[in-house]
């Protein structure tokens, strides 16, 4: 019977090429009252880009599953709102549910 070929040794791990995740650390982004006030101000002025940036930054600092459950929307919807590759065009009911969940 022929010998089976085995590897000559273990390959080195690719952990050195991984980048460390640096979460948002700003206390302002975790202040729900300030975030809700800013989002409502963006709605009043019609500044959709700032609205998206503030909402995305806040959602990156909090538990998205908890917010989605409070708002009664799917987690996938939140991740779609955060995704910069996707068009930001949420329904009014989604925005209303998010702001109500944040304000609660």
pLDDT digits (tens, 9 = 90+) for 20-39: 656 667 777 788 899 999 99
Please state the separation of Cα 79 from the chain's center in Å: 6
Q: Which long-range contacts (CB under 8 A, 24 or more apart) does 78-86 make?
A: 81/52, 81/55, 81/56, 82/56
- Residue 64, Cα to own-chain centre: how many angstroms? 7
Please state the separation of Cα 47 from the chain's center in Å.
Answer: 20
Rg over CA atoms, the chain: 21
Mean pLDDT of the chain: 83
| pTM (2 d.p.) | 0.70
Domain ranges in the chain are: 25-103
For 45-72, the pLDDT digits (tens) are 999 999 999 998 888 888 888 999 999 9
Contact predicate 73/98, CB 8 Å: yes
């Amino acid at each position: 019977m022929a010998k089976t070929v085995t590897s000559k040794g273990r390959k080195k791990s690719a952990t050195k090429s991984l980048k460390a995740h640096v979460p948002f650390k700003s206390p302002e982004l975790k202040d729900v009252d300030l975030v809700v006030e800013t989002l409502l101000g963006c709605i009043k002025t019609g500044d959709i880009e700032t609205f998206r940036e503030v909402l995305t930054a806040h959602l990156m600092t909090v538990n998205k599953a908890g917010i989605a459950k409070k708002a009664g929307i799917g987690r996938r919807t939140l991740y779609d709102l955060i995704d910069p590759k996707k068009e930001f065009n949420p329904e009014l009911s989604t925005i209303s549910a998010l702001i109500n969940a944040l304000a609660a």
